[in-house]
Amino acid sequence: MDLENQARIKELAEKHGPENLVVVLGGAEAEASGLAAETVSNGDPTFAGPLAGVQLGLPAYHIFEEPIKSLAEPQVYDDQVGMMEMVLEVDEIVKEVAAYREQYSKY
């Protein structure tokens, strides 16, 4: 997760309270999605960004996960995400993100 996005998330958590936020990820690889999930929940593991040492405990979901997917208009989801769902390792990505959410999310 880039430093600009880390700063935005930190600002939103300070403004609205972390208990009022959910992070929706859209990474194409399990490792990158997991790293982003870890960053918003347990802090930046590279200790390089604004979330270094900041444990927001935010729950992170991937757009492929049913609780998020079910909230989208089906036609919009199919148009915007459907093709990627067919070519990426969906189960691997979802498993990686869920592992960090289950381990570090406080909400």
pLDDT of the residue at 58: 98
Predicted TM-score (pTM) of the model is 0.94
CA Rg, the chain, in Å?
14
Residue 102 pLDDT class (50, 70, 90 cuts): very high
Cα–Cα distance for residue pair 61/63, rounded to 1 Å: 6
pLDDT of the residue at 25: 98
pLDDT digits (tens, 9 = 90+) for 60-81: 999 999 999 999 999 999 999 9
pLDDT digits (tens, 9 = 90+) for 14-25: 999 999 999 999
As a whole-number percent, the residues of the chain with pLDDT over 70 amount to 100
- Long-range contacts from 80-88, C-beta under 8 angstroms, 24+ separation: 81/26, 84/28, 88/28, 88/64
